[in-house]
Amino acid sequence: MPTVTGTDDVFGEVAEKFEFLENFARGYFKRLGFEEVRTPIIEYSWVFRKTLGDSSEIVMHQMYSFEDKDGKEVVLRPEGTAAAVRFYIEKIQSAKPRAKLFYIGPMFRRERPQKGRYRQFHQIGCEMFGFDSPESDAYIIFILSEFFRNIGVQHKIEVNSVGCPTCRPRYSSALKEFFEAKTLCEDCQKRKERNPLRILDCKKDIEVVKDAPNILDFLCQKCKSHFELVLNNLKNFGVKFEINPKIVRGLDYYTGTVFEVFSTKFSNAIAAGGRYDLLVEFMGGHPTPALGFAIGVERTVDLLELSSERNRLGLFICYTSEGKQKAFDFFTRVVVSLNLISAGKGGTSHVGEIREHIVKRFDISVEGTKSLKSQVRYADSQNFRFIAIIGKNEIEKGVITFRDLQNSYQFEMKEDELLF
RNA sequence: GUGGACGUAGCUCAACUGGAAGAGCACGGGACUGUGGCUCCCGGGGUUGCGGGUUCGAGCCCCGUCGUCCACCCCA
């Protein structure tokens, strides 16, 4: 029973990495003043058609769209920015023009799956609205870089400026003119007409592209000085980066600063973003500068190395037939007073330690008719730190045996000693 | 959407030119009669992705289909 092409069940170690990444991102971005927004996974299709560009690959071929029963066309969101902008205009803008938002969630694109690319994938994205300063560009690149540094992912950052509606067309036509005389691969022939900037990305025409005009030489005065200030501020933040004039974002809405984050391990960008000063207005809001980025969760998870030693946690109760009733009594007694246990401190070091672990994880064997051995083996395989053993001996002596599976020693304790 | 490689046990992979489907790991049990990890023994698990075809006989050959992976396209 396979899952839908390009989707997968996330479980075990990978699920732990997802959890770690999402938890870290929430804490990190909240601390930096970003607020989480959970926009719907389905949106009316105009949200993306309008913003990504009707001729973009995503809109043309990759969106999961369908007609709802009321005849409205609905899509599974292919990216997060457009939805965040829609939300900002609708619910935030009139109350406070400046806003810092972040989101975490699944996106959908019907592409052919391959390494680091899935049809359902997850992004962690940040968007800043109402900020036009070059400091804000540098800031958002800085926090992105720090994000990866904090989770121990080696990376490098490349930045560029794609200009604005006054300078980009000039560059476009210069490029077109330059390539006119050259022989290009089949794909690039089409790109020349549709979006000449894309030719810079081509893997076949590398030789031809090498001498192509540089976009940075074509920036208008405003874009040029902004970009220079961004670079200066990046230095102020101490961010290591490279300028790569060949970076072209696939989404039409970018203006000015754009950037991509590459892992040193594989060629895909693990995060990318940039400025999109015209998008809010374009979608019907008041003119508002904005910028943001999205982090590819699956791609990042691939690079995560969690501390390999998974800690043993918790207490697991094992018992024999003679101890069954007492084991169940102990279990229920602990479960009903779990909040007291977490509040309670003190006792011997053993008591404190056992209590600590009970709070984290606590369970009882429901296979008490099996041998004690197999119950202990189960506890071990489930990575419990302690087991409690309740059998004939314990009943007779009025105690419970505790065994530390990590350090291989055991001791006896009275139940009341632990719980009161 | 284009091109290529590959689908055998939960996982990683064997099976000579077509001739009775195997191993390691994992899982379960036992040796250790009340105690995990180490060792040894035993055990459960397969319509060889699916559907056709060729053949006395197909995991192997042919066709189709689905899926996975890789590259292109595109992109996080």
Assembly ipTM: 0.82
Strand partners, A126: A102, A293
What is the C-alpha to C-alpha distance for residues A230 and A241, in angstroms, rounded to an integer? 12
The one-character DSSP state at A250 is: S
The separation, in Å, between residue A114 CA and nucleotide B5 C1' comes to: 13
What is the C-alpha to C-alpha distance for residues A301 and A11, in angstroms, rounded to an integer? 13
The per-residue pLDDT for A11 is: 84
* Model confidence pLDDT, tens digit, residues A292-327: 999 999 999 988 876 655 678 899 999 999 999 999
pLDDT category of residue A217 using cuts at 50, 70 and 90: very high
Query: Can you say how many angstroms the Cα of residue A263 is from the centroid of all Cα atoms in its chain?
Result: 15
The per-residue pLDDT for A194 is: 72
Count of beta carbons in the 10 Å neighbourhood of residue A58: 19
The separation, in Å, between residue A20 CA and nucleotide B18 C1' comes to: 52
* Model confidence pLDDT, tens digit, residues A73-128: 999 999 999 999 999 999 999 999 999 999 999 999 998 888 888 999 999 999 99
Q: Which amino acid is at A350?
A: H
The per-residue pLDDT for A49 is: 86
With CA of A396 and C1' of each nucleotide, the nearest comes out as B34
The separation, in Å, between residue A18 CA and nucleotide B46 C1' comes to: 33
Question: Does the pLDDT of residue A181 top 80, yes or no?
Answer: no
The per-residue pLDDT for A417 is: 85
Give chain B positions with protein CB within 7 A: 1-3, 27-30, 32-37, 66-76
- Ranked by mean pLDDT, the top range of A54-58, A328-332, A368-372 is A328-332
The separation, in Å, between residue A374 CA and nucleotide B29 C1' comes to: 9
Q: Which amino acid is at A247?
A: I
| Phi-psi group of A208: left, alpha or beta (phi > 0 → left; psi -120 to 50 → alpha; rest → beta) | alpha
Tokens 């990305």 sit at which residue?
A: A201
- Of the listed ranges A39-48, A192-201, A219-228, A312-321, the least confidently predicted one is A192-201
Nearest in space to A83 (alpha carbons), one of A63, A107, A65, A61: A107
Strand partners, A289: none
The separation, in Å, between residue A110 CA and nucleotide B51 C1' comes to: 27
SS3 label, residue A100:
strand
With CA of A205 and C1' of each nucleotide, the nearest comes out as B72
With CA of A319 and C1' of each nucleotide, the nearest comes out as B34
Cβ contacts of residue A50 below 8 Å, gap of 6+?
A82, A282, A283
Query: Can you say how many angstroms the Cα of residue A136 is from the centroid of all Cα atoms in its chain?
Result: 22
pLDDT category of residue A258 using cuts at 50, 70 and 90: very high
What is the C-alpha to C-alpha distance for residues A195 and A191, in angstroms, rounded to an integer? 5
Question: Does the pLDDT of residue A264 top 80, yes or no?
Answer: no
Tokens of A241: 């980066």
The residue-averaged pLDDT of A387-403 equals 94
Q: What percent of chain A has pLDDT over 90?
A: 59
Domains of chain A: 12-167+219-303 (3.30.930.10), 315-419 (3.40.50.800)
pLDDT category of residue A363 using cuts at 50, 70 and 90: very high
pLDDT category of residue A392 using cuts at 50, 70 and 90: very high
The per-residue pLDDT for A9 is: 85
Residue lying closest to nucleotide B73, CA to C1'? A187
What is the C-alpha to C-alpha distance for residues A291 and A254, in angstroms, rounded to an integer? 9
Q: Which amino acid is at A129?
A: F
* Model confidence pLDDT, tens digit, residues A16-52: 889 999 999 999 999 999 999 999 999 999 999 888 7
Q: Report in angstroms the alpha-carbon separations of A246 from A117, A177, A215.
A: 22, 17, 8
What is the C-alpha to C-alpha distance for residues A284 and A281, in angstroms, rounded to an integer? 5
